[in-house]
């Protein structure tokens, strides 16, 4: 039986800056906002197409012009890298 893949199988050492800690990735599964977005059949088809594409990079550039895909990407980023609060006065 083949062993399941690991992050090390797909990321090279120079990609280390692109790695998201597993703890933060788990937050994606807990997000109700993300879950609601994934109910959209059009978004699901876009994601499936990217997953199966040979040239993911050029397809991602194309899909980043789609408002629904951008909304999905922004939602994921807000979860794994919450924006820093701006203009907050210390207490």
Alpha-carbon gap, residue 17 to 30, rounded angstroms:
24
pTM of the model: 0.70
The mean pLDDT value of the chain amounts to 83
Q: Residue 37: which pLDDT band, with cuts at 50, 70 and 90? A: very high
- 7 and 62 Cβ atoms separated by less than 8 Å: no
Position 9 pLDDT exceeds 70: no
- 71 and 36 Cβ atoms separated by less than 8 Å: no
Q: Residue 84: which pLDDT band, with cuts at 50, 70 and 90? A: confident
Alpha-carbon gap, residue 65 to 69, rounded angstroms:
8
Alpha-carbon gap, residue 67 to 14, rounded angstroms:
31
Look at residue 87 in the predicted model and tell me its pLDDT: 55
Position 46 pLDDT exceeds 90: yes
Tokens for 39?
A: 């109910």
Position 34 pLDDT exceeds 90: yes
Q: Residue 5: which pLDDT band, with cuts at 50, 70 and 90? A: low
Whole-angstrom distance between the N-terminal and C-terminal Cα of the chain?
Answer: 57
Tokens for 71?
A: 């909304």
């Amino acid at each position: 039986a083949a062993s399941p893949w690991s992050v090390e199988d797909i990321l090279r050492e120079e990609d280390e800056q692109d790695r998201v800690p597993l703890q933060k990735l788990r937050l994606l599964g807990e997000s109700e906002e993300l879950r609601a977005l994934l109910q959209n059949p059009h978004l699901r088809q876009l994601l499936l197409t990217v997953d199966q594409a040979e040239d993911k990079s050029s397809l991602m550039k194309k899909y980043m012009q789609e408002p629904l895909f951008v909304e999905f990407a922004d939602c994921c980023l807000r979860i794994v890298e919450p924006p820093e609060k701006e203009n907050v006065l210390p207490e």
